Amino acid sequence: GAGVSQSPSNKVTEKGKDVELRCDPISGHTALYWYRQSLGQGLEFLIYFQGNSAPDKSGLPSDRFSAERTGGSVSTLTIQRTQQEDSAVYLCASSPILHQPQHFGDGTRLSIL
């Protein structure tokens, strides 16, 4: 079956603009995760969803970041008023349930000019 799909694969935008990143998880996976990977760094956990619910939003870097998941499927990560430090690869992953191996998408490479 299809893997985790992320769109767009690349996004270049000007500082101050809002961006929306999309993640389509593997069908039937109840858990969905968002990470940020900066150049030469590991993965920074942002948020996870169990179904449509995000139990803990404290991993989001600032209040400019928000995420939602609808219908237990597609999730969007929104960054408002983008800053240059937001430039990174944003990875999405899903798993059948929590604590199971995560299946990752190819990521969205975000560049803020």
Q: Do the bridges between strand 65-69 and strand 75-79 make them parallel or antiparallel, or are there none, so unpaired?
A: antiparallel
Using rule CB under 8 A, residue 35 touches other proteins: yes
* Contact mark string toward other proteins, 40..59, x via CB under 8 A: -xxxxx--x------xx-xx
Binding flag, residue 78, other proteins (CB under 8 A): no
25 is a contact residue toward other proteins (CB under 8 A)? no
Amino acid, res. 88: A
Give CA–CA dist 30/52, Å, rounded: 9
Beta partners for 49? 32
Classified as helix, coil or strand, 83 is coil
Residue 90 engages other proteins in binding (rule: CB under 8 A): no
Give the residue with the Cβ less far from other proteins, 70 or 99.
Answer: 99
**Residue 77 contacts other proteins per CB under 8 A:** no
**Considering beta carbons, is residue 16 or 61 the nearer one to other proteins?**
61
Copy the structure tokens of residue 46. 């942002």
9/4 Cα distance (integer angstroms): 12
The residue (of 39 and 81) whose beta carbon lies closer to other proteins is: 39
Residue 30: exposure state from Cβ atoms within 10 A (0-12, 13-18, ≥19): middle
Question: What residues make contact with other proteins under the rule CB under 8 A?
Answer: 33, 35, 41-45, 48, 55-56, 58-59, 89, 91, 93, 98-99, 101-107
